[in-house]
Amino acid sequence: MTQLAQDTLAKIPARAADVIVVGAGVSGLYAAYKLQQSGISCIVLEASGRVGGPTSTSNHFNSEKHPRTHALATEFSLLNESRPRQGKTVLEGFEPFEHHEQPALDAKDAASLCQVQQGILDTLSRRLKVFHAEMTVQELVSLYGATSTVEKLANMWTRTVFGLSSHNVSASQFLSHCASCGGLLTLLNNINGCGDDFAISESSQRIAAALAQRLSPGTIQLHQTVTHVERASGTTCRIYTETGDVFGGSKVALAGSLPMYGALQVTPPIAMAAEWEAMRDEQGFSTSVDVVFDHPWSSAQVAQGVGRGGGLVPSPSILAPLFNSAANKGDPPQWRFSFGATFITEPGR
């Protein structure tokens, strides 16, 4: 932005609040909700015409690992009983394995996996700085002695969590996510869906709608695409949008990953670790599919079909989890057998 443009924008009166939140997804709305509960004024700017952001592909949670989600679901009366998961997970290059377990590994790969997990645990517990800002997860696990098989598993971790391959996720982002989840083992349990004890149907949208209803009138500003965030003078920030509106606040919260704001200009420039994320041009992607049958079927047969690359998704592919479940829909009960699968990264497109 030229100096002349900056001077012109600086003359536009700003709508002010203590905090400007960019993004009306669940995290942005939750931040605004907590701020207003604390007596702090805020404005939420959302580029689209609705709240909620991208819908989560998982509606199943664990109350100990997701205490905020559980608290919100309880407060807003959104709790449902979790659907039990059974069956197989299919990962290309491995035989089908139980969804709550790791695939069968030989002695060399098992030792390598333990070594990688211990290395990551040591890094988290001792706050060791064994990586640089540009290091990827693929490079990190390789540093810890990962075999090609364990590298495939690490790729599954990042694809499941971020919708991105391990060579396109920074080590710092992955370790930060592990720390926020309570450690690597907790993250892996979350991936496998172990211990889920409650569910929320259409979780992201229902929580977002409930949060939006509890914000002060006028808090959410839809169709406001932020183009420029600028620290003006002292503790003042100015936020400019495509519509020509200007918002001012002492703090700005970007409620989403930086790749979502590829065209966003930030002055002064952001830190190196965050800049690595901003420069990444590949977006994560996943989609969840449920196929409903009126008669029983064998998940083993489906898993074998996927394992040889037939029918359900072209190779290369990752599917997780496959499960057999019966859902009671209506009165009298009408039982249905379902096949659920998550297509992650490119197959999901």
Answer whether 207's CB lies under 8 Å from 27's CB. Answer: no
Give burial (CB, 10 Å; 0-12/13-18/19+) of 272. exposed
pLDDT digits (tens, 9 = 90+) for 168-223: 888 888 888 787 777 777 777 666 655 556 677 656 778 888 999 999 999 999 99
Third-level CATH fold of 101-192 = Guanine Nucleotide Dissociation Inhibitor; domain 1 (1.10.405)
Is the fold of 3-55+204-279 the same as that of 101-192? Answer: no
What are the extents of the domains in the chain?
Answer: 3-55+204-279, 60-81+284-348, 101-192
pTM greater than the 0.75 cutoff: no
Higher-confidence residue of 80 and 16: namely: 16
pLDDT digits (tens, 9 = 90+) for 243-278: 999 999 999 998 876 556 667 888 877 665 455 555
SS3 53: coil
| Integer CA distances (angstroms), 154 to 164, 165, 184, 188, 276, in order | 11, 9, 11, 10, 20
Least confident of 97-101, 155-159, 181-185, 252-256: 97-101
CATH architecture type of domain 3-55+204-279: 3-Layer(bba) Sandwich (3.50)
pLDDT digits (tens, 9 = 90+) for 282-302: 555 656 566 666 665 554 444
Spatial neighbors of 2 by CB under 8 A, at least 6 apart, are none
